[in-house]
């Protein structure tokens, strides 16, 4: 049933917020439900803000590639990891996209349909099950309302820590020494928890250098970290000619699952709704599965059996992943945290991919908790003396 048959509604789907989550939902609906009317509301003048999103081999379901393939701006066959005592290559597609690319893709999709409307520089005051109230007092009505306005709406629980970073997209004076991503290089000087460099080579002379911290404290001295990145870039084989763009983020890593989906609207999605991996901060795996569900399910069955299965499975994963944050930030500090991360990344590729995709199995849980990580201080001392390979 479409909006033409529901004169009380301004649109079948009202999408509040123009970040990654609602961009995915819009693209999925445009492909699977072309007769549905969609209004997307965004307070800024473009989609996506100032971000780079990355996702691993299993994060995007195969069933979603028919609508999500245009999102892939950069793709590599795997990534490298460097630690003080080990290094390794993880095989499997690693993909990234920028906010500019997301904005172009969403606008292109909207341009193909008269039933999709993008409204920018719109401030939303209140979101209800079937309506949105704007700052000017006007109201829009929708059969389905999805609120994905971002971290400021919630999505954090006390007791965990923070993943915080400053990223510089740089033009280099000579080609980068690597043509594939470096997910972690923790051979740098450690401070403020577990510190590592994350490097994405977009071209031979253009890279993102991100200084990242798994810290118990949210404080971030952006200017000092920018200076540190530029000072340490030569140690990574990177000769910076110019800084093209700066990205800053402080992401809570919750100790409890923040995914609490309800069986009625509005649907709180994206980061505020807990639709992300609490242990990595990566969001596309959960967000794409929500987009898949909305695009495949009739209005009257949105909160039916498939919804209950989807939310149950993801919440199960979210509880486990958040519990890992609690253990890491409460018990493992300084060098122990670095060694803990190194132990995890010695696990097989498939376990790592399932971990990022929020598809871990019970066997994976055992390997992560027992083989991959010594989760008690006493156990840590024992394993530190007799390291073992998984």
Annotation: CATH topology of 161-253: Alpha-Beta Plaits (3.30.70)
| pLDDT confidence band for 383 (50 / 70 / 90) | very low
Burial label, 361 (beta-carbon count in 10 A; 0-12, 13-18, 19+): exposed
CA dist 112 and 38 (Å) reads 13
Tell me, what's the pLDDT at 157?
A: 57
Q: How far is the C-alpha of 360 from the C-alpha of 354, rounded, in Å?
A: 5
For residue 115, give both structure tokens.
């039933």
SS3 assignment, position 295: helix
Percentage above 90 pLDDT, the chain: 82
pLDDT in tens, 152-202: 655 455 568 999 999 999 999 999 999 999 999 999 999 999 999 999 999
* CATH tag for 11-154+255-314 (out of 3.50.50.60, 3.30.70.920, 3.40.630.190, 3.90.1150.10): 3.50.50.60
Position 257 scores a pLDDT of: 92
Cis peptide before 207 (omega within 30 of 0): no
Average pLDDT value for residue range 316-324: 96
pLDDT tens column, 27-65:
999 999 999 999 999 999 999 999 999 999 999 999 999
DSSP 143-199: EEEEE---GGG----TT-EEEEEEEEEEEESS--S-SS-EEEE--SPP-SSEEEEEE
Q: What does the alpha-carbon distance between residue 233 and residue 239 come to, in Å, rounded to a whole number?
A: 7
> Bigger pLDDT: 382 or 282?
282
Indicate where the chain has its CATH 3.50.50.60 domain(s). Answer: 11-154+255-314
Average pLDDT, the chain: 91
Residues of the chain with CATH 3.30.70.1990: 161-253
Q: What pLDDT is recorded for position 8?
A: 67
The pLDDT of residue 265 is 86
pLDDT 10s digits, 62-105: 999 999 999 999 999 999 999 988 899 999 999 999 999 999 99
Residue range 103-154, pLDDT digits in tens:
999 999 999 999 999 999 999 999 999 999 999 999 999 999 999 997 665 5
Q: Report pTM.
A: 0.91
């Amino acid at each position: 049933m479409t909006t033409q048959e529901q004169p009380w509604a301004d649109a079948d789907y009202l999408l509040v917020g123009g970040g990654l989550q609602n961009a995915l939902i819009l693209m999925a609906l445009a492909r699977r439900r072309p007769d549905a009317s969609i209004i997307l509301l965004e307070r800024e003048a473009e989609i996506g803000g100032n971000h780079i999103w990355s996702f691993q081999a299993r994060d995007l379901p195969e069933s979603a590639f028919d609508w999500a393939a245009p999102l892939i701006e950069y793709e590599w066959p795997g990534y490298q990891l460097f630690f003080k005592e080990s290094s390794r290559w993880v095989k499997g597609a690693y993909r990234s996209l920028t906010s500019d690319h997301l904005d172009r893709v969403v606008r292109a999709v909207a341009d193909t349909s008269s039933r999709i409307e993008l409204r920018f520089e719109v401030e939303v005051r209140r979101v209800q099950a079937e309506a949105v109230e704007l700052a000017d007092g006007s109201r829009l009505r929708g059969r389905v309302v999805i609120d994905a306005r971002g971290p400021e709406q919630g999505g954090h629980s006390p007791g965990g820590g923070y993943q915080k970073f400053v990223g510089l997209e740089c033009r280099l004076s000579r080609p980068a020494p690597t043509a594939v991503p470096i997910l972690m290089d923790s051979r740098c000087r450690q401070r403020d928890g577990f510190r590592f460099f994350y490097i994405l080579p977009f071209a031979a002379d253009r890279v993102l250098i991100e200084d990242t911290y798994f810290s118990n404290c949210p404080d971030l001295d952006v200017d000092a970290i920018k200076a540190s990145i530029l000072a340490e870039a030569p140690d990574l084989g990177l000769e910076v000619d110019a800084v093209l763009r700066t990205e800053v983020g402080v992401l809570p890593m919750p100790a409890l699952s923040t995914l609490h989906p309800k069986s009625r609207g509005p649907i709180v999605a994206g980061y505020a709704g807990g639709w992300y991996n609490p242990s990595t901060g990566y969001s596309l795996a959960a967000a794409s599965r929500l987009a898949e569900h909305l695009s495949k399910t009739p209005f009257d069955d949105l909160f039916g059996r498939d919804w209950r299965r989807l939310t149950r499975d993801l919440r199960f994963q979210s509880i486990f992943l958040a519990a890992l944050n609690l253990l890491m930030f409460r018990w493992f500090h300084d060098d122990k945290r670095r060694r803990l991360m190194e132990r995890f990344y010695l696990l097989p590729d498939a376990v790592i991919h399932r971990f990022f995709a929020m598809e871990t199995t019970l066997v994976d849980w055992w390997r992560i908790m027992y083989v991959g990580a010594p989760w008690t201080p006493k156990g840590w001392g024992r394993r530190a003396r007799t390291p073992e390979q998984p």
